[in-house]
Amino acid sequence: MKRIVYFLLFLAGSGVSNAQTQTYDMATFTAPSGWKAEPKENLMLFSRIDGGSWAQIGIYKSTVSKGSVENDAISEWQTLVASQHTMSQEESTKPASGDGWEIMSKSGVWQFNGSNVATILTTYSNKQVCFSVLLNATAKTYLKMYQDFIATLTPSVPAGNTPSANDLGPDNIQRKSGFKFTTTNWNDGWVSNVRENWVEVVKPGIKVLIHYPNQQVDAYSAEKLQGDHNAWRILIEPKYSSIKNVVERGIQDYQSITFFTADAAEKTTGKNVYIVLFKKHYDKGNGRYLEIVADSKAVFEQEFGSNYINKSSWEYTDQVKSWDKLANMQSRNKFSIASSDLIGKWSESDYASLRYYYVSNGGFAGATATSISDEFTFLPANTYQSDHAGASGVVGNQQFSRQVYNGNSMVTEWNITFTNRFQGQSEKYDSYFEAIKGGRILVLTDRNNSVKWLVKQQTN
């Protein structure tokens, strides 16, 4: 699509026209005339249908920059385009710049219902934040409309969102989300990205959405299948159309399995996909709903196996392995830590009790209880304080303990080492962030594989 070279040259002189303008996130623009506007969760979508041809223009919300427009364009292309479609004829333009922003476009072609769909993704970056504008089109006439639309667009930081010193880390990278790392690249080709309501884990042809805990979705149900259908209704049905061939493949067991498969079309793109809703209900209650979206059933089975299809031929041990491979995808909600992310107080607490009764008459014979709490306060200049308290024994006559430490904290992306711990020794924890809606959980694992799940305390 060599036309995008001309297109980018055209961009260099673009500006907002005299027509009435609108603003979405970091883009100010004139809405295309005759297109239907549809606000979505993470984008503003414009679409139109003309007989047998159609097009979409989407303005995506901004994300933290990878440090250059080239890296941003590659990341945006992979996340917004290549992870959704099998692309061909891919091209890229050289960056252009103006008013503190760099602009770069990538393009390609994919198939939808036997017809070619041309895609152009234009990425704007100021090395602190970036956002992209997408065109999907089935006819050449829409390319000119896209050029006209882009010519009206001006990128800017909205009022009230101007980066301040508190938004910047020591490397001067903007923490739009409050955290330095929002992407994890895995050695096997998967890429995890923090999103507003889930972590999106992608590789070509398939993506897994690790949904954050949700009070409505995770509400207790005495009947497993009723709870499963509630999750399907909330997580799946609003996002897809033409849902068909729905099959329930889960089981009721000690650790039950939620497992739905179906064919559907994405409402945002119209693309036909194979979808799976999966959850392993761990006895500790830490299972997450996973929404798998694949280009086809074959793509899903190539990644996660096919031995769940015919129950009469199941080998239980093989089936468990297949489930575990899916269930283990929730561990991809894992992101590196920067020392500037930690400033403040993080804590966890736990409590357990046992009640005893006399066998002879059923009378109450007393209770035992155990409670523990851990609190870490990260201070400037890489220093810390921690307070560890516990109580255990017969209620009314419990034994109490407390240990307080002060020292230095040395943070790498996946480890934290604390000095001056027990008997003055240093202690190293494997560490990472788990993303949740609106924040993070700090996970620390010591050499004995004891895990602490710490939540940051709010400050007034």
Domain count of the chain?
A: 3
Within a domain: 280: yes
The Cα–Cα gap between 257 and 325 comes to 13
CATH number of the domain at 71, please.
Answer: 3.40.1000.10
Residues 326 and 192 in one domain: yes
Distance between CA atoms of residues 6 and 19, nearest Å: 24
432 inside domain: yes
- 201 and 116 within one domain: no
pLDDT, residue 365, reads 59
32, 145: one domain: yes
Residue that is last in its domain, among 131, 161, 191: 161
Same domain for 350 and 325:
no
pTM for this predicted structure: 0.60
Q: Give φ, ψ of 186 to 5 degrees.
A: -90, 155
We report the CATH number of the domain holding residue 442 as 2.40.128
Structural domain that includes position 37: 3-161
Q: Are residue 8 and residue 157 in the same domain, yes or no?
A: yes
Same-domain check for residues 147 and 12? yes
Could you tell me if 370 and 349 are in contact, meaning their C-beta atoms sit under 8 angstroms apart? no
Q: Is residue 168 one of the residues assigned to a domain?
A: no
User: Which domain CATH number covers 299?
Assistant: 3.40.1000
* CB distance 136 to 55 below 8 Å: yes
Whether 178 is covered by a domain: the verdict is no
End-to-end CA, the chain: 54
Q: Which helix (H) or strand (E) is 76 found in, with range? A: helix 69-77
Of 313, 330, 347, the position where a domain reaches its end is 330
* Residue 307 shares a structural domain with residue 216: yes
The answer for residues whose C-beta is within 8 angstroms of residue 158's C-beta and 6 or more apart is 23, 25, 26
433 and 371, same domain (yes or no) = yes
Nearest to 456 by CA among 3, 39, 443: 443
Query: Do 226 and 148 fall into the same domain?
Result: no
Task: Give a yes or no: residue 169 inside a domain.
Answer: no
Distance CA 235, CA 256 (A): 19
Answer yes or no: is 12 within a domain. Answer: yes
The confidence score (pLDDT) of residue 418 equals 95
Q: How many residues does the chain have?
A: 460
**Cα separation values, 350 from 75, 441, 459, Å:** 40, 16, 22
Judge contact between 22 and 29, C-beta under 8 A. Answer: yes
User: b or e along 266-298 (b: 16 or more beta carbons within 10 Å of the residue's beta carbon)?
Assistant: bebbbbebbbbbbbbbeeeeebbbbbbbbbebe
CB-count burial class (<10 Å; 0-12, 13-18, 19+) for 249: middle
Tell me whether residue 170 is in a domain. Answer: no
Q: How many CA atoms lie within 13 A of 431 on its CB side?
A: 23
267 and 369 share one domain: no
Q: Does residue 368 sit in the same domain as residue 261?
A: no
- Per-residue confidence in pLDDT tens, the chain, 460 aa: 444 434 444 443 444 444 568 888 888 999 998 999 988 777 899 999 998 899 999 999 888 788 889 988 988 888 888 877 888 888 888 888 877 889 999 999 999 888 899 999 999 998 888 899 999 999 988 998 998 899 899 887 543 344 433 333 333 333 445 788 899 999 999 999 999 889 999 999 999 999 998 888 887 777 778 888 889 999 999 999 999 999 887 777 667 888 899 999 998 888 999 999 999 887 666 789 999 999 999 999 999 887 664 555 455 556 666 678 888 999 999 999 998 889 899 998 776 666 666 666 666 656 666 778 889 999 988 899 999 888 777 666 667 778 899 999 999 889 999 999 988 999 999 999 999 988 899 999 998 898 998 998 765 4
Q: Are residues 323 and 345 in the same domain?
A: no
Token code pair at residue 401: 């303990």
Domain end position, chosen among 112, 128, 161 = 161
In a domain, 166, yes or no: no
